[in-house]
Every structure is written in structure tokens, then in C-alpha cells.
Structure 1
Amino acid sequence: MFWDLDNKPPNSFPPFEAAIKLKAAAFSFGVVRSMVAYANQHSFSHVPKVVREQRRERKLLNQLENKGVIKSIEPYICKVCGRRFYTNEKLVNHFKQIHEREHQKRLNQIEFARGSRRVKLVGKYSMKMEKYKNAARDVLIPKVGYGLADELKRAGFWVGTVSNRPQAADVALRDHMVDVMDRRKAECLVLVSDDSDFVGILKEAKLRCLKTVVVGDADDGALKRVADAGFSWTEILMGKAKKEAMSVVGKWKDCDILKRLEWTYNPEVERKLNGCEDLFDFDDEGEDQDFDNTDDENSCDSGAWWELESGSDAGPSELQ
């Protein structure tokens, strides 16, 4: 699966949720061997409008909670230590002052350790560091972007960052797809993009007998016209693509069976396959000559088998 983040970023949906839904739909077509996403540096640092609005609303709610205008129905619980707070701002301050500092100390210890001591420290702090990351994802606001790269990595994607030059991500994505086809590592390619520049690579994949699936918002885009199957983002998130994928795979299997059953008559090939190449290939003239010679010899030797070997002019007196 190849994701063009420059052309099709998950702006309207949380990145992790979109990646998991996309992964589930891809698994309906078969085993997913690799998931790749490419984007330039600007895409990872950019904050979508939806995320900016959510942060603005959260900031306004914090101000109203501090003034006592509104109160949260349920207390805010720290997912690391379990402490409860009545305002979100107190939870954030607690998390930064205690847990963020503890996490930074663990990282420093691991960084300066060497050899077996480093291995022991990684094993010792692995559970605590994982717990901190899961809690910080909901409490702390990412300093750069909105956590797009980290969320995709958490979903199992390999994320590649390219320069901010135009079409840099498209070139890297296209080269990666060609490398996969050259090594014959996949039987089906899933492309998440609406960029018509990938039409050529999809045609190349079909010439190599690979199945192609496109995920994009364009209902009648150039990529969907070339690909074997196409889905929209809405179908991916609602789960419709996962259901329709079963019928698409069934049609592919039927087409493969029909191609195997196609038969054209070739006399030379049929003779070799049936082993009848030399069955009736013999020398008619030689056989005729042999039969003629035997007939001549039998006619010249003597008469019937019951006749004696004596000459034909002997009389009855001589026989007595």
C-alpha cells in the first residue's frame, strides 16, 4: 500500500483512525506485506484547519473552567499515575511538571549508557515509556504539526520524508512502486492518491499482471478509470470498502479461472502434447516394396504346400 500524503492527507479525520481503517480495507484484498507513506517536510509540520479549530475550542474551555463558569461532569484522570483533576489545565501542568521530566530523565540515562547497561535500562523503562507515550498523546499538544508521522507509524506505516521541492514525494513514491514490481514482492498495489501523474505507473502494473486499487475523493478521476477497483475516503471510514472488497476479489478469481480455461487449437502443439507426432509418419514406398517382394518370392518357389518337391513332369509310374 502506497500513500501520497501530499495529495491525500487525512485532514478531516484523526491520522491514526484513518490509517487503521485504510489498513483494514487493504487486508480484505489479501495479506498486506508493506505500507508506505511519503510526504515533504511541510506536510508533517502543517496543522489542518480542523485541528486548529479543535485546539482553539479546547483553549476556550480551559479558560471557562478556570473562571468557574463551567464544570466538567467527569474529572480529568492522569493515565500515568491515576490522579484526578477538575480542570484540564491542572492536568496538563501536572503532566508537564512530573511525568514529562521523569520521561526526559529516562531518555538521558539510556542515551549516555553503553553496552549491557544500555540494554538493561531499555528493558527496565520500556513499559513506563510506552505508558507515557500513550498518555501524552491525549494531553500534550505536539510542538510540530499535529503528530501525523507518529500516528501513522503507530498504525504500522513506514513514513518517508522528502525535500520540499515540487513533485519530490511523487518521484520517491513512484520509484518505490517500481522497485516493488521489479522484485515481484506483491500481486496487488493499493494507491491512496488523486494525482493523475500516477496513471503511467498503474498502467505499468497492469501490464505486469498486477491488480490495482485506488483510494481517493475524485469519483471519476483518471486513476480510478485505469485501476481495477476504486474507493472514496467515505467508503473507507464507513467500512463499505471492506465489504465491497470481498466481491471484487471474487470477480478477480473468476477472471483468472476463465483465462486458464481459454483454449486455442494449434496442430503442432497438440501433436507434441499427445505424443502422436510420429505415429503415422513412415515410408510408404519401402513398405510397399517389402510386401511386393514377399509375394514374388512365394509365387516363384513352388506350388501348394501339399505338393512334393519332385519335378512337375514326373509320371505316375515313376512315383511307384
Structure 2
Amino acid sequence: MVSFVRICFIDRGVDSSTIRTLTAAVTIFRRYHFNKSQTPKIPDPFASVQSTGRNIVAVFWDLDNKPPRSVSPFDAAIRLKKAAESFGAVRYKIAYANQHSFDYVPTEIKEHRRDRRKLNQLENKGVVKPVEPYICRVCGRKFYTNEKLINHFKQIHEREHQKRVSQIESAKGSQRVKLVGKYSMKMEKYKNAARDILTPKVGYGLGDELKRAGYCVSVVSNKPQAADVALRNHMVDMMDRRQMECLILVSDDSDFVEVLKEARLRCLKTVVVGDINNGALKRVSDAAFSWEEIIMGKAKKEAVSVVGRWKDRDILKRLEWTYNHERERKLYGSCSEDDDQNDDMNASNLVSDEVKTDQSRAWWKLESDSDSAVSS
């Protein structure tokens, strides 16, 4: 556009000064009309507050004290994770328990297995018929009794799975890598089907379900308080390394009170998930929810208001004024020691003069009375 203006005016015989003026005007117009992104912006005083990312959240689950009972372990872990995501970015999901917790089977699971065995017996006798046939999730075959499906799965698919595992374990190097890639889809399909068909030989699959949900499950010895000590040490270690900004504890054990107090002293946000109303942990935490609120999704909704209070508190801390003696002395300077001593001497002289004037008159006379007496 600038070159076009030059050519037009040169053809018409306009002097060079006019051409330079118009060229500069066109350049300025093109710069500020087409490049709007280069216009100066007003600085935002809250930019540092708004630019901060989400809180780094760490979930610590005491499985000895608070195992999932009302729902399956996988569903409980997923709902806990969704509730924790409302407080920030969940980077750590840690669970601790001893071997007894993984071997233990809740009463609800025992009753469900007992009812399933009774139903299998009625199906074998022909008294009860299923509304829809049982379908094998590996090969797609249909069965009209649950026991036939279980027998089919154990005799065919379980044996095939064991053969694949043995082949992978016996192979080495690149051959093992090829076998893992070859059987990965089939093994994953078998695990998903076996989870619903086969009954766990020990416990009710607590550790496997939590690992499937993305939790890091650690098994400690069966000594008393072993899981609490390991979980407490892990929390303190992460606080020392500053790897989290929000701590979520799933437990009702009052032994963790001191850890939560230490977390609050280090300016960490604390959330407790437990079923004991007004427990010791809930009194020292920033927010507290029951396990039922986690399962029903109520905690996820209330987390919005909790995070809002945290943001307001952070903004107030940033805007809070504190007196820094060193900083004020550098900016505005300070009086010398001689000046300070002179000020102290002057103040003491004034006090002594006031005392002398007070002693010159009686205690029941006012200053006006003494003044009038002197004047007369």
C-alpha cells in the first residue's frame, strides 16, 4: 500500500516532502489498525493471583480404618477420585493396609455370594429360568445357567490365559516384547471378563480393584498400627518435599490429628472423609465430608464453595500489609543513634518538669487555681 501511494504521487509530480509525510501516516494507520494485538494493555493488579494453577491434590486412604463397604471397591475409588478432582489436580492417590484388610470379606459381599449360590442351585434344578441367557464376554457363547458359564470359562479361557502367561514368562529379550504385544488385547479382555465371572480366591479383590482405578496400593505387615505409621510417614515426607497443596485423608483414626495440624501450619488445605460426626479429624481440617456424601456426589457439589473460600483467603493474604523493618529502613532511612539518645533525653526532661510542677501545688488544687494564685 505504501509503494502504491509513492507511485501515484510521483506520476502526478508531487514533491518528496509530501510523499514522506503521507507514507509515514499510512504506515502508522496500517500498524495500529491491522495489528490490534500490539496495542498496549492495562496491567492487571490481580494477574499473579489469577494466573496460579489449580491446587495439587494428594489422596491418602487408610484402608484398615475406612474400607469401602456400601459399593464395590472400584466404584468407591472412582467416586472418591471425582470428588477429589473438584479441589484441584489429583496427582497422587495412595492407599495403605495390612494383609488382613485384603483377606477380609465384608458382610454384604458374603450375603451376595450366598444368594448367588442358592440361585445357581435353583437354575440347575430348573425351578428358576433366567430372563436373558448368560453370555461369555470372551467368545460370545450363550448359557442358560450360571454354573455352565463358569465351567466353560475355567475349562477353556482360564487355561488359555495360563498358557499365554507361561509363554511370556519363559521368553526373553525381543521375543518377550513381541509376545506381550501379541497377547495384550486378549489378556485384557480375559481380565475384564474374569472380574465378573470368577470369584476371587482370597478376599473380594480389594487391591486389584483399587489398582485398576489408578491408586497406588501398599501392603504393610500385620503388626498393630503398621499401616498408620507408614501412611503418616508418607504424608510427612511429601509435605517436606512440597509435592502437594491440598491433602485429602480418608480415615476416622484420631492418630492423624497431629499430621493435619502440621499440614495447616504449613499452609496446606486439608479435607477429611469419614463417618464419625464432629470427630477429632474433622475439627482440625478445613473441610469434612462423610463417605455417604462422597458416594452420592454431594461432596463434589459442595467442593465449589470450599475452593471459593480458599481463593478468597489466598487473595486476602496477598493483599495483607506487613511491616518489614529492614525494608522500611532501606527505603526511608533511619535516625542515627545520637539523635535517638537526644530524643530520649528530651522526653525524660519533659517528664521531670511535669513532675516538679505537679509537686509545687497540693493534690486537691487544680491548675487554674494555682495559676490565679501566682498572678495575684
Q: TM-score range by the shorter chain?
A: 0.7 to 0.9
Equivalent position of 2:265 in the other structure: 207
| Residue 219 (structure 1) aligned with residue 252 (structure 2) | no
Which of structures 1 and 2 has the bigger CA Rg?
1
Q: 1:264 to 1:111 in 2, by over 3 A?
A: closer
Cα distance in 2 for partners of 1:166, 1:271 equals 57
Matched, 1:60 2:118: yes
Deviation string for 1:183-237 (max 9, x for gaps)?
1000011000000000000001111111110001012100000011000011001
Q: Distance in 2 between matches of 1:78 and 1:104?
A: 18
Residue 140 of structure 1: aligned partner: 198
Matched, 1:92 2:115: no
Given candidates 60, 65, 69, the residue that maps to 1:7 is: 65
Counterpart Cα distance in 1 of 2:182 and 2:81: 32
1:121 aligned partner:
179
> Match for 2:333: what amino acid?
E
Q: CA separation of 1:127/1:266 partners in 2, compared to 1, >3 Å: closer, same or farther? A: closer
Give 1:256's aligned residue: 314
Q: How does 1:157-306 map to 2 (within 5 A)?
A: 157-265=215-323, 269-270=327-328, 272=330, 275-277=331-333
Q: CA deviation at 1:246?
A: 1.0
Amino acid at match of 1:166: P
The count of corresponding residues between Structure 1 and Structure 2 is 278
Aligned in 2, Cα 1:148/1:267: closer, same or farther, shift over 3 Å?
Answer: closer
1:21 equivalent to 2:79? Answer yes
Q: 1:151 aligns with which of 209, 213, 218?
A: 209
Q: Distance in 2 between matches of 1:106 and 1:142?
A: 20
1:164: Cα distance to partner? Answer: 0.7
Alpha-carbon offset, residue 276 of structure 1: 3.9
Which residue type is aligned with residue 2 of structure 1? Answer: F
Query: Residues 190, 109 of structure 1: CA spacing in aligned structure 2 closer, same or farther, 3 A cutoff?
Result: same
Distance 2:105 2:321 in 1: 58
Q: Tell me the secondary structure at the aligned position of residue 89 of structure 2.
A: coil
SS in 1 for 2:238: helix
What residue number does 2:13 align with?
none
Per-residue CA deviation, residues 278-315 of structure 1 (Å, 9 max, x unaligned), is 8x99xxxxxxxxxxxxxxxxxxxxxxxxxxxxxxxxxx
Quote how far apart the aligned CAs of 1:158 are.
0.3
The residue identity in structure 2 corresponding to 1:5 is L
Pair 1:131 & 2:158 matched: no
Structure 1 residue 268 displacement after superposition: 5.8
Change beyond 3 A, Cα 1:121–1:174: same
- 1:289 paired residue number: none
The root-mean-square deviation of aligned C-alpha atoms, in Å, is: 1.4
Give 1:215's aligned amino acid.
V
The percent identity for this pair of structures is 76
Query: Equivalents in 1 of 2:261, 2:198: separation in Å?
Result: 45
Gaps of 5+ in 1: 282-320
* Cα distance change of structure 1 residues 121 and 265 upon mapping to structure 2, 3 Å threshold: closer
Change (3 A) 1:268 1:159: closer
TM-score, normalised on structure 2?
0.72
Distance 1:122 1:181 in 2: 39
Higher relative contact order (CA 8 A, sep 6+): 1
3-state secondary structure, aligned to 1:172: helix
Once the two structures are TM-superposed, the CA of residue 269 in structure 1 deviates from its matched residue by 3.2
Note the residue ranges of structure 2 that are not aligned, 5 or more in a row. Answer: 1-58, 337-376
Q: Deviations over 1:20-60 (max 9, x none)?
A: 00000001100111100000000001111100000000000
Measured after TM superposition, the shift of residue 82 of structure 1 is 0.5
- In the alignment, the residues of structure 2 paired with residue 101 and residue 196 of structure 1 have an alpha-carbon distance, to the nearest angstrom, of 48
Q: Residue 130 of structure 2 aligns to a residue in which SS? A: coil
For 1:271 and 1:199, the matched residues in 2 are separated by: 42
